[in-house]
Structure 1
Amino acid sequence: MWSYWRLHKYPILFVLGSLLFYVSFAYDLNRTDFVKLITLYAGMSFLCLKLIQFEKRNFKFLLISGLLFRLVFLWMEPNLSQDFYRFIWDGELIKNGINPYIHLPKDLILQNNLPISNADQLFAGMGELSAKHFSNYPPLNQIIFTIAAFFGGGSIPGSVIAMRLLIIMADIGVLLFAGKLLKHLNLSPDFAFWYFLNPLVIIELTGNLHFEGVMLFFFVWALYLVSKGKWRVAAPVYALSIMTKLVPILFLPLFLRYFGIKKSIGFYFFTGTACLLLLLPFYSSVFVDNYSETVGLWFSNFEFNAGLYNLVKHIGTTYFDAKPWELIKSYGKVMVLAVIGITLVLAFFRKNEHFNTLLKSMLWVLACYLFLSSTVHPWYIVFLLVLGIFTKYRFPLVWSITVMLSYWAYSNPDYTENLWLLLIEYLAVFGVMIYELTAKEGKKLDFFKKLGAN
């Protein structure tokens, strides 16, 4: 024991310090206290970097550390997001045979005999915006909500713990399959800990119960199977990723050149069939209209932590007298077409026959989508972070640190964003990205060399 302490005393101290930060973040933080939030997050990020620097070859030590950080959140209700109330609401509905895609919470709450536990508390917690829209969470997400509702036994804390344990298991799966894929790519498997120990991942997924980790488990598993030539098995696994979060749909055209025409048709067929099978239990005559309407709101009504959109909005409202509510609708339509165009260009004109190139194409499609989007919540960056560990690009890692500046919006009652902080966030990301694109091959930032991120 003493010899282990002498060999690992600094990493052990880093873990203990991180645990104190996570405990404070989980149990003694109000999201309106931006200064405390960003200070704690900066401390967690620094200690994460030092931990990987000192122990990047010690898989067991880093695995246990990551699990301890996650278990800190086990008993607490999310303090940065209220989405979990809607998750539990949907799960309770399905448990009681009610389709969440065809009933609005604001209509159901008026029923005196609504057969779900804690209905009033869940309805109040999810907020007015969620209550007046149909559910936009894909079928596999809904299944997870239902599992949590069953194991939660009608208790909100019980459902929270059930969801949290599922997310932690998914993160372990991401770590294991990412390590396997990194080895297959002749990259160091310890890169996977840039995901597993990243404070953004721990706080937003385990802490705030966002299901990007479950999506990424299936996504990375599918990529690993594809890399091994097992595309028939990979297709239904990829479908599970899509049916958790829709984002992986973006990458489907990129597989065309990698597989070739014949295999691509088979891959698309098996993926599509698996998606349809997962949709069938929820299908109704109004499902398509309700779901597409709700998903469309993200492109035409909401804005948060936007990059290019904020610039367009500033120019449009300042110099062209554009109305913000009209501008975002027009921008949303153009943005969708732009992302489709970028994806098709990369699908047909980039050499995606090589697996490494395919991964880079995915990274750039997702990066362009996020840069152009009018809504970029911090947990959206987690997907980009994972794609980044399979490539030479480290700007997603920088973004995983600076994106927390966007939480300034919650420090004031009217949720006004601080555009100067957003400017700092995006300048840091674009600065590192441009450097990485223009630097000579093999040249790395000294910062990343010291951290072992090369």
Structure 2
Amino acid sequence: MLTVSCLLFYFSFAYNLTRTEYTKLIMLYVALFFLFYKLVKLLKHNLSLLTWIAFGFRAVFILAIPNLSQDFYRFIWDGYMILTGFNPYLYTADHQMSLGIITGLHNQIELYEGMGALNSSHFTNYPPINQLCFVIANLFPGTSILSSVIGLRLIIIAADFGTLYFGKKLLEKLNIPAHNIFWYILNPFIIIELTGNLHFEGVMIFFLIWSLYLLYSGKWQWAAVVLALSISVKLIPLIFLPLFFQYFMKRNVISNEQNNEKPPIDKQIALSLPPRNNTLNGIKKLIGFYTIVLITTVLLFAPFYSSEFVNNYAKTVGLWFQNFEFNASIYYLAREIGYLFRGYNEIAIIGKVTPIIVVLFVFIITFFRKNKTTVELITAMVLVLSFYYFTATTVHPWYVATLLILSVFTKYKFPLVWSFVIILSYLAYINLNSADKSENLWIIGLEYVIVYGVLFWEIFTKKHYSSISSKRWIL
């Protein structure tokens, strides 16, 4: 009954909902989240059935056009650009349309109008592996937008089940309940934002979890290659690179046993890990790891390289720090304080300072917090990514997906709570059709009061014990 109810609600969400139907949107999402929670609790010892249910929920969306996001129009556009010989990083859709150089593109007007003015006026910011996915989707049979949407959706679904496979194996090796992976895989937020709205965080996450599994298994060279693939889908894993310092410099088999992690069985794998107190060996592996990540990433970007590409890509990425504002928390508070002194264009100032603060925080976590074991490393990733989102000027709902998957390997639950209340961000533009087109800050405030409240409760009130035998706070 729970499963059938979910299927009906997902069908309504996919085929009978518009973004502006706020009451219906909230009611469906709340109902789906409640049923999802009950399903995981009820069937946590039947992972096979949970897997089939997760597949069934995703299958509901196969023929649906995304109704909460229009980014997929740009995905299809970029894929076609590559297929016709254009470098998507060198031209905006506006420029191409104005010159009339696009010929033979099916549904050209519909794609151009569908992506919206923001997408069409800026250069693409999607890395090369993401672009490859767009190309593959356009190769699916058919010339309609729906055929490309189906292609995009099948890629994302395949990535989700790759995440399920490697995530479950990593949880088992870390002596963490394997059903934890379903707090991600079966989560309505993930199904709606990734499978439904076609956001490629799911593909990036697949490569990230695969990389962490390879790293735990001692195959650090392959872990570096796969991490580069993750970066080449979405750039966000770049923020994690400094955190590997202690993992390579101080990790050893004994520390694994002390932290309840099952040490690798194969002796060759064990020997591939940095030996205890062997700093030189750790440095060599760390440098090797970073070198492989860098070279692989550069090679993946190389086919698109030109001086214009570097300039356009840097300019587009910079927009996220100094031009766009959406669903922010600390930034909005800083902006209001800035208005008291200057009164305008606070993002131009705060947007320059925020990256510096984030970098400083990353290095504090890197050097002043223990990150020797896999659980400690992933927990550090949760802390760093959370700080980045808390200080960012733009936090789209699907950004939280990375935080959610990492949290299933830790004791933190606030990302799961955030995946529930993030739906409030869709109500932020409830004033869109009125004279006041700004975000509703009361709604955003409610979202973050809940998220910060749970976070502070977990840090300062609820005592955490990471998966080691000694009792201590997780921070």
Aligned to 2:213: 224
Cα distance between partner residues in 2 of 1:312 and 1:187: 39
Q: Where does structure 1 differ by over 4 angstroms across 4 or more consecutive aligned residues?
A: none
Q: 1:431 to 1:409 in 2, by over 3 A?
A: closer
Aligned to 1:418: 440
Are 1:63 and 2:56 an aligned pair?
no
Cα distance between partner residues in 2 of 1:269 and 1:321: 45
What is the CA deviation profile of residues 376-424 of structure 1, one whole-angstrom value per residue up to 9, with x for unaligned ones? 1110001000111000000000000001101013434355322111111
Contact 1:31 1:410 in 2 (8 A): no
Are 1:407 and 2:396 an aligned pair?
no
SS at match of 1:110: helix
Are 1:279 and 2:301 an aligned pair?
yes
Aligned to 1:322: 343
Aligned to 1:389: 408
Contact 2:429 2:440 in 1 (8 A): no
| Per-residue deviation, 1:354 | 2.1
What is the CA deviation profile of residues 42-63 of structure 1, one whole-angstrom value per residue up to 9, with x for unaligned ones? 0000000000110011112111
SS at match of 2:140: helix
Cα distance between partner residues in 2 of 1:57 and 1:204: 27
- Given the two structures, how large is their TM-score scaled by the length of structure 1? 0.92
Cα distance between partner residues in 2 of 1:156 and 1:410: 27
Cα distance between partner residues in 2 of 1:229 and 1:349: 24
Q: Which amino acid aligns with 1:425?
A: E
Aligned to 1:450: none
SS at match of 1:77: coil
Q: 1:294 to 1:152 in 2, by over 3 A?
A: farther
Q: Quick one: which of 10, 16, 26 aligns to 2:14?
A: 26
Contact 1:171 1:217 in 2 (8 A): yes
Aligned to 1:269: 291
Aligned to 2:41: 53
Cα distance between partner residues in 1 of 2:89 and 2:141: 22
Cα distance between partner residues in 2 of 1:311 and 1:411: 21
What is the CA deviation profile of residues 208-245 of structure 1, one whole-angstrom value per residue up to 9, with x for unaligned ones? 00001100000000000111111011111000000000
Are 1:251 and 2:240 an aligned pair?
yes
| Per-residue deviation, 1:153 | 4.1
| Per-residue deviation, 1:372 | 0.4
| Per-residue deviation, 1:314 | 2.1
Cα distance between partner residues in 2 of 1:423 and 1:36: 21
Aligned to 1:361: 380
Q: Which amino acid aligns with 2:398?
A: W
Where does the alignment leave 5 or more consecutive residues of structure 1 unmatched? 1-12, 445-454
| Per-residue deviation, 1:442 | 5.4
Cα distance between partner residues in 1 of 2:161 and 2:198: 15
Are 1:135 and 2:157 an aligned pair?
no
Aligned to 1:92: 80
Contact 1:82 1:125 in 2 (8 A): yes
SS at match of 1:151: coil
Aligned to 1:4: none
The structure that is helix-richer by fraction is: 1
Aligned to 1:200: 189
Q: Which amino acid aligns with 2:329?
A: G
Aligned to 2:255: none
Aligned to 2:392: 373
Q: Quick one: which of 308, 315, 330 aligns to 2:330?
A: 308
Cα distance between partner residues in 1 of 2:397 and 2:369: 29
| Per-residue deviation, 1:120 | 1.3
Q: Which amino acid aligns with 1:322?
A: G
Contact 1:152 1:160 in 2 (8 A): no
Contact 1:109 1:119 in 2 (8 A): no
Are 1:352 and 2:340 an aligned pair?
no
Are 1:289 and 2:311 an aligned pair?
yes
Cα distance between partner residues in 2 of 1:412 and 1:441: 41
What is the CA deviation profile of residues 13-50 of structure 1, one whole-angstrom value per residue up to 9, with x for unaligned ones? 11111111111111111101111101110000000000
Q: Which amino acid aligns with 2:179?
A: D
Cα distance between partner residues in 2 of 1:19 and 1:277: 43
Contact 2:382 2:403 in 1 (8 A): yes
Superposition CA RMSD, Å: 1.4
Aligned to 1:155: 144
Contact 1:31 1:411 in 2 (8 A): no
Where does the alignment leave 5 or more consecutive residues of structure 2 unmatched? 250-282, 467-475
Contact 1:253 1:343 in 2 (8 A): yes
Contact 2:430 2:439 in 1 (8 A): no
Cα distance between partner residues in 2 of 1:275 and 1:217: 17
Contact 1:406 1:417 in 2 (8 A): no
- Given the two structures, how large is their TM-score scaled by the length of structure 2? 0.88
SS at match of 1:78: coil
Cα distance between partner residues in 2 of 1:24 and 1:443: 41
Aligned to 2:353: 334
SS at match of 1:413: coil
Cα distance between partner residues in 2 of 1:355 and 1:235: 15
| Per-residue deviation, 1:114 | 1.3
What is the CA deviation profile of residues 76-118 of structure 1, one whole-angstrom value per residue up to 9, with x for unaligned ones? 1100000000000000000111000001111111344513222
Aligned to 1:117: 106
Q: Which amino acid aligns with 2:351?
A: G
| Per-residue deviation, 1:315 | 2.3
Cα distance between partner residues in 2 of 1:183 and 1:264: 26
Cα distance between partner residues in 2 of 1:31 and 1:421: 16
| Per-residue deviation, 1:345 | 1.0
Q: Which amino acid aligns with 2:455?
A: M
Contact 2:417 2:451 in 1 (8 A): yes
Contact 1:171 1:196 in 2 (8 A): yes
Aligned to 2:26: 38
